[in-house]
Structure 1
Amino acid sequence: MYKIKTFNKIAKEGLTQLGENIRVDKGEDYDGVILRSYNLHEEKLSDNCKVVVRAGAGVNNVPVDSCTEKGIVVMNTPGANANAVKELVIASLIMTARNLDKATDWVQTLKDKNVDVAKTVEKEKSNFKGNELQGKRVGVIGLGAIGVLVANALYELGMEVYGYDPYLSIEHAWSINKNINRSYDIERIFQRCDFVTIHVPLLESTKNLVNEQVLRNAKDGIKVLNLARGGLVDEDAILKAVEDGSVSYYVTDIPNEKVLGKENVICIPHLGASTVESEANCAVMAGKEIRDFLENGNIKNSVNFPECDLGAMVSNARICIIHKNVPNMVGQISSLLASNDVNIANMINKSRGENAYTMIDVDNDVNDYIEKTLKEVEGVTSVRILKNDK
């Protein structure tokens, strides 16, 4: 029986994916973790912890580096909340295009005034005249699971869409509408587009992706949306651009003290993935991933180790080894097994940077001596022996 700990309320749809061999436990000795936005940096993980699954895309709240050193696999659920974010992007675009924030705030002020509301509205509504999205140019920075959905949806709304992603995957490339214009330069997108929406992870290479230089040459009156991560936009630069009017609106789903109360800055309280459906989708995906890893050793959607899948375990035992990506590691492992008369039925080895993962299905029982000897191989971080009790 495996035990997992949840550091947030996880939708019941996800917990039902755990099956009979995994249960949620409130104790401090657990095999895995499922969490949403809880800050795991402040926690001391169980010595028995093997896997952390973030029910969401971002893993800034997870100590990925220290988990990697300990051989703890960190996974996320990319795409599970993509539709929720896509719809919030559309809502934000419409809000800025039609000046809905100013208009709705103004009409509420009529409540305590001694005026004919209907007549006043008809007289003053021209002050809030906006534009339609159809025919306008929009740049989508980042064409991952969310960006692709956003780009395709905005094209269907009649917008002229420009996409930018130097690391576009083959999988996502197949999903992009053929009419989306691909751009190879962020500055060019800002120069041409009426709107820009950002959908990239926060990395050292993407920090302050939108900065003073990019904004200096942007189309006058551009509207900028950041519903991804704080740190992607240089806030001093964007606030200066909003103040001088070169950026007509800035929408952020990651508000802080600096941007609150600023005119033409719309602050959303981190609602990108906050829908009942999105939370359920993320939880289901997280439940399936942690179960497949604990019961079968398979890794999917990991941010620190390679994806590796041998399917459901049908052999007598499965050996799962996290190790450094160095020459002759697989040779050492297979030689050690052969010297102990262990027959390899199936095997897979995948690497990611300095780290690698090897899964081996064997016909024999794997005793404690073999497990101990494998752990003593230089460069091996962890060894798990899964036994088929079916």
Structure 2
Amino acid sequence: MSRIVLFENIHPSAKEVFTAAGMDDVITHASSLPADALREALRSAHIVGIRSRTHLDAELLAQAPDLRAVGCFCIGTNQVDLDAAMLHGIPVFNAPFSNTRSVAELVLGEAILLLRRIPEKNARVHQGHWDKTAEGAFEARGKTLGIIGYGNIGSQVGTLAEAAGMRVVFHDVEAKLPLGNARATTSLKKLLAQSDVVTLHVPGGKGTANIMNATAIAAMKPGSILINASRGTVVDIAALHEALKSGHLSGAALDVFPSEPKSVDEPLASPLIGMHNVLLTPHIGGSTQESQENIGREVAEKLLRFVLSGTTKGAVNFPEISYQEATGAARILHVHRNLPGAMGTLSNMMAEHGLNIVSQQLQTLGQIGYVISDVEGKVDDTVMSVLRAHPITVRCDVV
């Protein structure tokens, strides 16, 4: 029986997936845990579910020998040391699709609010002013939306924006098939120069760090708007602040920040605080009831398929093997060092203990290989001990 530990108030839909499959040993925590408590909770866990505030580094992973898989119930996986997890034979799964609509709706809503100067108008009414002027307020219809990063979310933003009458252009480091009437631009500079609203939908990492720096922001169309609901590290906040103060940009909306508060009562530290033309939200792009329920189900189902059949389709750090119905008396999941002769060594060990391989699936990634072997014969503790003890083995389990 696998023990499943879920942190950070993951939606009940995840637990429902596990219990429906007869996996009742599910422990839930309403938040992330301090280091010592987290280490203790991981010690007895086979499957772990986290969101963005629980960080699993190499040291923690090394101290969790029974941990078989990690589910990130969100899009990002930078809170997990993916290489360390891989070298321990632990696949990591996430939810790249389930909050797409929620983020896209937030971005379009923010674009419309900023084009109409609603943040400023709303604040002035609360302060006792009745300013009905139309100066600086525009319809979304006919404006150009520039999308940087045309993946799952970026393309969905474009579809919604077109429905509102916007013209859509996009820039991506990879060739992407445009949806609707969207058009790819040949350079980021060309996108910035023509866009009334620029929205970012790129991954984090060194390749995207501060891609919207002072130079890029200066290349934006005067009076345009910048929206970031991707990663906090992709926008130079100081440069954005200067562009807003000078009037080069008319507004901005940020849902992510380079450094984010660790608790509900900790304030955000940002020079953008108090600016009347800036929308600041606490990393809630995917925080809708619909998306959280979908995320809970999507990641839990991936974890469940791995536990029951060994399939790793959708893992972000691991050789991917799709589901295939079991054909033998037992299924052995073997993670090994990706060295010449590994498969021959594994097959010989199985043959020496009377196991006949009836089906095998193998994939490799970097330093490891992963093979699912359906076998006939008796797979007892002795066999598993031999397979696990061999120097080529990283991890070995049976389902």
TM-score range, shorter chain: 0.7 to 0.9
Q: Which residue of 2 aligns with 1:97?
A: 115
Give the match's secondary structure for 2:208: coil
Is the Cα contact below 8 Å between 1:22 and 1:291 reproduced in 2?
no
Stretch moving more, 280-289 or 210-219: 210-219
Which of the residues 224, 241, 244 maps onto 1:239?
241
Q: Which residue of 2 aligns with 1:288?
A: 301
For the aligned residue pairs, the C-alpha RMSD in angstroms reads 2.2
Give distance in 2, aligned partners of 1:54 and 1:326: 30
After superposition, give the CA deviation of every residue in 1:158-217 in whole Å (9 maximum; x if it has no partner).
Answer: 211112222357xxx4xx415211224222211221111111111121111211221222
Is the Cα contact below 8 Å between 1:74 and 1:304 reproduced in 2?
yes
User: Is the alpha carbon distance of 1:379 and 1:252 closer, same or farther for their aligned partners in structure 2, counting shifts above 3 Å?
Assistant: farther
After superposition, give the CA deviation of every residue in 1:217-245 in whole Å (9 maximum; x if it has no partner).
Answer: 22212211101111011112222222222
User: Is the alpha carbon distance of 1:142 and 1:379 closer, same or farther for their aligned partners in structure 2, counting shifts above 3 Å?
Assistant: farther
What are the residue-to-residue correspondences of 1:1-390 with 2, within 5 Å?
Answer: 1-18=1-18, 19-25=21-27, 28-41=43-56, 44=60, 46-110=64-128, 121=130, 124-126=131-133, 129-167=136-174, 173=177, 176-255=178-257, 256-258=268-270, 259-386=272-399
Stretches of structure 1 lacking an aligned partner (at least 5 in a row): 111-119
Give the match's secondary structure for 2:245: helix
After superposition, give the CA deviation of every residue in 1:273-322 in whole Å (9 maximum; x if it has no partner).
Answer: 11111110000112111111111111132121122123343531111122
User: Is the alpha carbon distance of 1:378 and 1:225 closer, same or farther for their aligned partners in structure 2, counting shifts above 3 Å?
Assistant: same
What TM-score comes out, normalization by structure 2 length?
0.86
Give distance in 1, aligned partners of 2:338 and 2:141: 51
After superposition, give the CA deviation of every residue in 1:127-146 in whole Å (9 maximum; x if it has no partner).
Answer: 55511111211111112221
Stretch moving more, 78-87 or 128-137: 128-137
Stretch moving more, 364-373 or 230-239: 364-373
Which residue identity is paired with 2:110? S
After superposition, give the CA deviation of every residue in 1:223-274 in whole Å (9 maximum; x if it has no partner).
Answer: 1110111101111222222222222212100254123223432211221111
Which residue identity is paired with 1:165? D
Give the match's secondary structure for 2:139: coil
After superposition, give the CA deviation of every residue in 1:89-108 in whole Å (9 maximum; x if it has no partner).
Answer: 11111111100000111111
Stretch moving more, 138-147 or 80-89: 138-147
Give the match's secondary structure for 1:370: helix
Identity %: 28
Which residue identity is paired with 1:297? G
Which residue identity is paired with 1:180? A
After superposition, give the CA deviation of every residue in 1:32-65 in whole Å (9 maximum; x if it has no partner).
Answer: 1112233234894532111110111012322333
Which residue identity is paired with 2:188? I
Give distance in 1, aligned partners of 2:143 and 2:106: 18
Is the Cα contact below 8 Å between 1:143 and 1:163 reproduced in 2?
yes
Which residue identity is paired with 1:375? R
User: Is the alpha carbon distance of 1:360 and 1:213 closer, same or farther for their aligned partners in structure 2, counting shifts above 3 Å?
Assistant: same
What TM-score comes out, normalization by structure 1 length?
0.88
Give distance in 1, aligned partners of 2:136 and 2:278: 18
User: Is the alpha carbon distance of 1:293 and 1:107 closer, same or farther for their aligned partners in structure 2, counting shifts above 3 Å?
Assistant: same
Which residue identity is paired with 1:277? E
Stretches of structure 2 lacking an aligned partner (at least 5 in a row): 29-40, 258-267
Give the match's secondary structure for 1:287: helix
Is the Cα contact below 8 Å between 1:144 and 1:168 reproduced in 2?
no
Stretch moving more, 243-252 or 94-103: 243-252
